[in-house]
Structures are given as structure tokens and as C-alpha cells.
Chains A and B, each alone.
Chain A
């Protein structure tokens, strides 16, 4: 799903995804501030391990993505964090292929960036815990929802054979989006209370 294996996508989609991922990672690394490195590494580690928690949904299975939370906390730094974690997941656990690394990275990192750009600025001026909770809720929904749409787009662009199953793919992301929205909201609310400077505007 979010980890598309080798041999599913067509060459143009793989190359396009690879180029886009390379560009995003370059920008992400350039904008990575020194003070941000520890939390980038910690969230990369959390994302790396979170994929092991698997939730069966109907005939398929999903796992937490946490890209909404990564977008809120890390901003652009989420891109290199996601790339490193995906590479390690492919190498150690066999989740996703190496040729699809670029596409998978885009599918997870672009929604994280969207969250960072749309919701990040709102959170920075937000000290009220309940409002932060709502922003976290939106971040979780947006992160998973956009990933689901991008996975469907990657599959649909690769071949018409995948189109009939796309509805099922979107449906299977529904429960995950809800779970993840609650988790992201709880984390955001807590962070806003105990460590509000984590969402400081320094994360350009």
C-alpha cells in the first residue's frame, strides 16, 4: 500500500517519483537546521518502527504512517527522515522495493509537506491545547488521506488493471485515517502543552 513493492509500477511513474523525491530530499536536507537534527532522527526512528504495527482491514492490511505528525513537527526535514526510514524498512524488513523507493517516499512525504505548509503556521501561533488537538486531528486525516490518493494515482498511472481495486484501497485507508487522526491529535495536544517550542517557526 504505502510500501509499493517492486514490479508493480510502470517505468515512467518510477522515474517521475524518483526525480521528485530527489528534488524534495535535496531541499529538505538544505533546510535542515542543526538544532532540528535530533528530533528529525527520533521521528525517523518512530516512523521506521511504526510500520511493524499492522492493522488488518478486510482483505488487506495497513499500518500507521504518522506523516501528519512528522509534517507538523519537522516541516521540510520530514522528507529526509521519511526517505531514510523507508530505505531501512526496504533493507531490513523487505517492505516496499528499492526501485519504488522514490515513489513511496513521495507518497508519504508530499502529504507531510502539505500538512507542514497548511497546518504548521496555524499551530505555531496556537497555545490553546484544544485548538492544537483539532489541528492534530486535521493533520492526521490530511496526511493519510493524501497518501491514499497518491498511492491510487501511482497505481492508476501505471496500468488500467489497477483501477477496479482503487475504491477498495481508499476504503481500507479510512479506518487508518481515523486512528491516526486521534493519535496525531493526542500527540499534538500533549506537545503543545509540555513542549510548545517544538513547533517553533525556526523550522522553515
Chain B
């Protein structure tokens, strides 16, 4: 029993160490029409030279871009509709990132400008605002993404507890079968 506990402790120590994982992921930020981002394995592996496709909602290919050695890429989205970025490494690793329709927030920005006298400068204001806000929240989004990528100890503990519970249930069922009188 002590050996089993030691083994479990080892598992926990492994899991608690800086988490690394096995999942391909795309992270991107869009400022206006421009999309910049990176493709990577959660836990730090880079994917140099990965090919990414920009597809429309029906899965039609709109554009293709190749990531650089650090897995970074940049492209311009085509048209305002909802699009999706897909990376298929061809070996069973696939990542997708949905890009919601551009300008979804534009009406809000536009309505803010309604009260003021419309001028040439005001027409550009929503776009400038959007760019400024996007620049400001980018670090926040990156941080949020990093946080999401972290494997949390409670997930690992939850999984292990699930297995222990299942083992207990199985033992209970088997014990019941043993005690039941033979038919």
C-alpha cells in the first residue's frame, strides 16, 4: 500500500511541475482586417513552418499562410463574414480558431458618434477607437490565454479522484457479486 501511495505522490509531483501538454492551439488577435497570431503546442512546443488556412463558414478555403520559425503568422482577413483559421499538420494534430464576423461591435461604436455633429474626422473615429482598444486589450488577452493553457492541479486531482471513486464502485459491485448466493 505504501508503494501505491508513493506512486500516486509521484504522479502528483509530475502533474504539479510546470505543466506541459499535448494539444495544438492557435492564438490570434485581430486589429481591423489584420490578424496576427501564433501556433503552438500547449506547454511550449513551437510549430515552425505550419500551414494555416483561412476558411469561410462553409469550409471554403479563402487564404493560406505559412508560420515562421517561431510559429508566428500574420494575414489579412477576406471580407467581413465569420471565418475560421484551421491548421492541420497532417499527422492528426488539428487546431481551429473561429473569427467572429468583423464589425460586430461597430454599430455600438457608431451609435456613440450619433449625438455629435458628423464630420470627416468623426467618420474615422469608430475605426480608430476599435484599433486603440484592440491594442490595449491584446496583452490582457495573451495573459488570459496563457492562464487558460495552464493545467491546473485541481483538474489533475479531480481526474485522480474520479479514478479512485470508480475503483471503489467496482470493488463494491464485485464484492456484492461474491456475497450473493449462487443461483
Contacts and interface: CB of A to CB of B under 8 A. Distances in A.
A51 B42 CA distance: 12
Contacts of B32: none
A49 B90 contact: no
Contact of B90 (A40, A54, A56, A165): A165
Interface residues of B, number: 45
Interface string A14-58: 000000000000000000111001101110111011111110100
B22 interface: yes
A12 interface: no
B159 interface: yes
Contacts of A92: 155-156, 158-159
Nearest to B41: A61
B163 interface: yes
Interface in B36-61: 41, 43, 45, 47-50
A179 interface: no
B10 to A, nearest CB: 9
Secondary structure at chain A's binding surface: helix, strand, loop or mixed? helix
A52 B92 contact: no
A130 to B, nearest CB: 22
Contact of B21 (A52, A59, A84): A52
A91 B163 CA distance: 13
B174 interface: yes
Contacts of A91: 159
A38 B167 contact: yes
Contact of A54 (B4, B7, B41, B96): B41
A48 B91 contact: no
Contacts, number: 133
Interface in B156-171: 156, 158-160, 162-164, 166-167, 170-171
A5 B14 contact: no
B129 interface: no
A63 interface: yes
Interface string A152-187: 000100000110111011001000000000000000
Contact of A52 (B14, B45, B48, B166): B14
Contacts of A32: 170, 174
Contacts of B159: 45, 48-49, 88-89, 91-92
A183 to B, nearest CB: 13
A62 B20 CA distance: 11
Nearest to A88: B159
Given A5-B93, A195-B3, 4 more contacts: A34-B174, A52-B14, A52-B151, A54-B21
Interface of B: 3-4, 7-8, 11-12, 14-15, 19-24, 41, 43, 45, 47-50, 88-94, 96, 151, 155-156, 158-160, 162-164, 166-167, 170-171, 174-175, 178
28 contacts: A1-B93, A3-B22, A7-B96, A8-B94, A32-B174, A38-B4, A38-B167, A40-B167, A45-B8, A48-B163, A49-B11, A49-B14, A49-B15, A50-B14, A54-B20, A59-B48, A60-B91, A61-B22, A61-B41, A61-B45, A84-B166, A88-B162, A92-B155, A94-B23, A95-B23, A151-B92, A155-B92, A165-B91
